[in-house]
Chains A and B, each alone.
Chain A
Amino acid sequence: MSFSTFLITGFVMLGLGGVLAAALAIAHRKLHVQEDPRIDTIEELLPQNNCGACGTGGCRAFAEAVVTGAISPGKCTVSPPEVKEAIALYLGVDVGAEEKRVARLACAGGKHVAWVRARYEGLETCQAAALVAGGGKGCAWGCLGFGDCRRVCDFDAIRMNANGLPEVNEDRCTACNACVEVCPKALFSLHPVSHRLWVACKNRAPEDQARAECEVACIACGRCGADAPPGLIEIVDNLAVVDYARNAMASRVAIQRCPTGAIVWIEESGEISKGPEARKVARKSPLPIAKER
């Protein structure tokens, strides 16, 4: 093998490189996609959680939608207000008044007030328990307390309290819908924080049966509906249902005479207020497993 072989090889490679580089240079010019540089800027401002709570496929998709004007900056539930304002200022658009939404649990039947009829043995997840006779709880609608919602929450906004019920930290909650989807009893739903009147129960059994299963169940007595402005609260299938289209009329009046404390008022601090006539629960320890009747 002579020295010229190396030379030829070298030149061929150089030539090939030159041709391909030229092709790339032309492609770069001809096939260039003009992308709005604002998308990148906005994306950098966003929290990069990709939670999807805004309704788009992630933060990049949200940034694109904001730039095109399809969505207002305020729709991002995770960003703090100053970030949303910064985006609005940058684009010269309105922030868009988007009220903060949070996940709310429609059950107050912790271990200390809800009767357990059978001991569930098996995988310690709500989804597994729900498949075995709906879990061991007497109330067929109530929270099972294995904390699937806590595990699925990416924002650490849910913790399980001493009574085995999930508690939502409203500051951390981004209304991403993950807990709503995972709960086998469908107890979570997303609500604007201004929805302060809340029925913390889903029990649709008639009064005696509801009382027998849980001390804080809605017994459909109808007092909240009678006290509240007409049309705000209706009893549907043995359960008080708040019509949030008339939320402006809601006040603490509705919770005053509730005998079980199933209907509550959620304070701005996130604390839960029950009416003065609500049954006082002093018990801290879990109820034992007891037979029916």
Chain B
Amino acid sequence: MKFPFGKQQKTFEHGVHPPQFKEATAGKPIRRMAFAPQLIVPLLQHIGAPAIPIVREGQEVVRGEPIARAAGFNSVPMHAPVTGVVQRIALAPTPMGNMAPAIFIKTYPGASQEILYGAPRDIGGMSPEALVLAVQETGVVGLGGAAFPTHVKLSVPEGKSVHTLIVNGCECEPYLTTDHRIMLERTQDILAGVHVALRITGASRVLVGVEDNKPDAIESLRAAFDACPAPAEVVSLPTKYPQGAEKMLTKALLGGEVPSGGLPIELGTLIMNVATLAQIGDLLPRQQGLIERVVTIAGPGVQKPGNYLMPLGTPLWFILESAGFDGKADQVVLGGPMMGMAIRSLATPITKGITGILALAKGGSASNTKTYPCIKCGSCLAACPVQLNPSRLGLLARKQQYAEMEQGFHLNDCFECGCCSYVCPANIPLVQYFRIAKAMNRQQRSRAQAAQNRGGRS
């Protein structure tokens, strides 16, 4: 093991070391993907209220033009990813399996990649408040997968302050290399984004966390961050899943633990993904919207794995065809293999929060083999990064004691990283149980709320 600068490497407790599978795509530069004949732009691609369409059926739209406006502060606008005509506003499949409203755009033949919309401006003189609104206008959300509106995250709540900006370049999920490529190819954009984030939050220092399986990215960031306006340090972290989770990264870099139910801002830190920062740094001065993102396409099912810059709304079948999908893969997963979602329909479009598309063969991810009884070996306790007791929670879930799981065993601290299911020798689908339990508790709460509202009226 090599320790840069002879220092002990920082990390969080527990976690797992799944095989990486990154070599197939890590060395490949980002390439552009062609336009699909029809793009589907869902109105809800983020956490918050769905955007409100501002186009009509039959209307022509230009690449980069806003097509839906934000519904309040907790929402972001959508922009046309391609020049074409709005066919209809109708239901389209989502990765979650339900159908949600989306804008269908028919691509004009010969539509160019050039973005004509937006006017360059000087963001140097803008106030933090104006910058927050400008970030909202770009429609940027957390591109690491969470899809939380970036401008909301950047607005530090009253009474809180941020002293450290943490830049998240961990990319701990196997297969995915989008952040890796962005750190290599768009270092200056990341730096520009950091500049904006520093101005909005007033943070006084920058910590960049990158896992040590990306030495070239660490090198390139170190060279670039010499020009950072605040004291910056690029920290090499040992490769371990789920290092890229907000709370884990905070613990690895600062040693402090984010309180249960709280956000890293309680410790005075704000965590931004490198891809998100690169987009802010790139789009803000040009006054443009987020219309494309880098996605890793990998897995044994595709012949041309790599990182592709693709227009948002491109349907999966088109992407898989372009990447040489052999049709043999058993599973198509959006996101990484640990936390990603298997999808049902290849008509599902790419949205802002999707980091990767994996065509996996049988056994490539958690496959359905026999489940054995829990032998209380404790492997899951040693893997859980938030120090829960998955074994006990699993037993409670079998008995459907969902309320007890939440009150007695901190179910809500679980962020569904899947480490417990990954290590379980009895093959118990622990994280699946927890997801059901959380869904049931949410349902229970909304039902109780509805009953209360009814009671209040009568």
Contacts from A to B (Cβ < 8 Å): 117-119, 121-123, 125, 127-128, 130-138, 140-141, 181, 184, 204-206, 291-292
Q: Is the CB of B436 within 8 A of A117?
A: no
How many pairs of A and B residues are in contact by the CB < 8 Å rule? 66
Q: Is the CB of B344 within 8 A of A131?
A: no
Distance in Å from the Cβ of A216 to the closest Cβ of chain B?
18
Q: Is the CB of B97 within 8 A of A134?
A: yes
Distance in Å from the Cβ of A247 to the closest Cβ of chain B?
23
Q: Is the CB of A140 within 8 A of B97?
A: yes
Query: With a CB–CB cut-off of 8 A, which chain B residues contact A131?
Result: 432, 435-436, 439
Contacts from B to A (Cβ < 8 Å): 90-91, 93, 95-99, 330, 341-347, 367-368, 429, 432-433, 435-436, 439-440, 443, 447
Q: Is the CB of A121 within 8 A of B346?
A: no
- A134 CA to B90 CA, complexed, in Å: 19
- A/B interface sample: 16 pairs, CB < 8 A: A117-B344, A121-B367, A123-B436, A130-B97, A131-B436, A132-B97, A132-B341, A134-B96, A134-B97, A134-B344, A135-B97, A140-B93, A204-B91, A206-B90, A291-B346, A292-B345
The 6 closest A-B pairs by CB, nearest first: A134-B97, A121-B368, A133-B97, A133-B344, A118-B344, A140-B99
Q: Is the CB of B368 within 8 A of A128?
A: no
Who on chain B is nearest to A118 by CB? B344
Query: With a CB–CB cut-off of 8 A, which chain A residues contact B347?
Result: 292
Q: Is the CB of B99 within 8 A of A204?
A: yes
Q: Is the CB of A133 within 8 A of B343?
A: yes
Query: With a CB–CB cut-off of 8 A, which chain A residues contact B345?
Result: 117-118, 133, 138, 292
> Knowing A123-B432, A204-B91 touch, does A133 contact B367 (C-beta < 8 A)?
no
Q: Is the CB of A205 within 8 A of B99?
A: yes
- A140 CA to B100 CA, complexed, in Å: 10
Distance in Å from the Cβ of B427 to the closest Cβ of chain A?
12
Distance in Å from the Cβ of B115 to the closest Cβ of chain A?
31
- A128 CA to B433 CA, complexed, in Å: 8
- A156 CA to B90 CA, complexed, in Å: 41
Query: With a CB–CB cut-off of 8 A, which chain A residues contact B447?
Result: 181
- A102 CA to B435 CA, complexed, in Å: 31
- A118 CA to B344 CA, complexed, in Å: 5
Query: With a CB–CB cut-off of 8 A, which chain A residues contact B367?
Result: 121
- A119 CA to B332 CA, complexed, in Å: 11
Query: With a CB–CB cut-off of 8 A, which chain A residues contact B344?
Result: 117-118, 133-137
Distance in Å from the Cβ of B372 to the closest Cβ of chain A?
14
> Knowing A118-B344, A123-B432 touch, does A133 contact B440 (C-beta < 8 A)?
no
